[in-house]
Amino acid sequence: MQHWWAARIRRTWSYVRARVDDRERAELATWLTPAQLGLFDSMHRADQRHGLDVVAYLRSRGATSTDLLLAGLLHDSGKGRRVRLVHRIAWTLGQRYGAWIWRAAVHLPTFRTGLTTLKNHAVRSAELAEAAGCGVAIGELIRNQEKPTNESGRLLLEADESN
């Protein structure tokens, strides 16, 4: 249990400190289409940082598939900019301690929308990625990010959970 809390505190700290520097953004422009870069730019800064960290993890494990790297970069795009840290905390606590936390939180302003967005973000992220010109294979990797159906999906989940 102590490890779980430590990991959550690290993730919260990462959320607060999240940055994407100009060099990283410029490097993305070398391999993303304008539509894909636009989707990346529409993401919350913390999700952008997380996506870049997932891509770095995938590359460190030898991944070269553009489909897998794009899925890693854009897998949280469906969260948008309106999901705040408090929504993410409530979501994570509900995953850990039970749905009663979500049922209580939805009575707070903005929480119904925030929690619904988090619940559906994988499907929405896949739709947004496909609309940005990513192929169906990328959409499927993103859509199944929590329950992977193949080795690439399992590596994406591993990278997501490690960052």
Burial of 32 (0-12, 13-18, 19+ CB in 10 A): buried
For residues 66 and 31, what is the distance between their CA atoms, to the nearest angstrom? Answer: 9
pLDDT of residue 1: 67
For residues 154 and 156, what is the distance between their CA atoms, to the nearest angstrom? Answer: 5
pLDDT of residue 2: 77
pLDDT of residue 58: 98
Where in the chain are the domains?
2-162
pLDDT tens, per residue, the chain with 163 residues: 678 899 899 989 999 999 999 999 999 999 999 999 999 999 999 999 999 999 999 999 999 999 999 999 999 999 998 999 999 999 999 999 999 999 999 999 999 999 999 999 999 999 999 999 999 999 999 999 999 999 999 999 999 999 8
Q: What is the pTM of this model?
A: 0.93
For residues 151 and 1, what is the distance between their CA atoms, to the nearest angstrom? Answer: 29
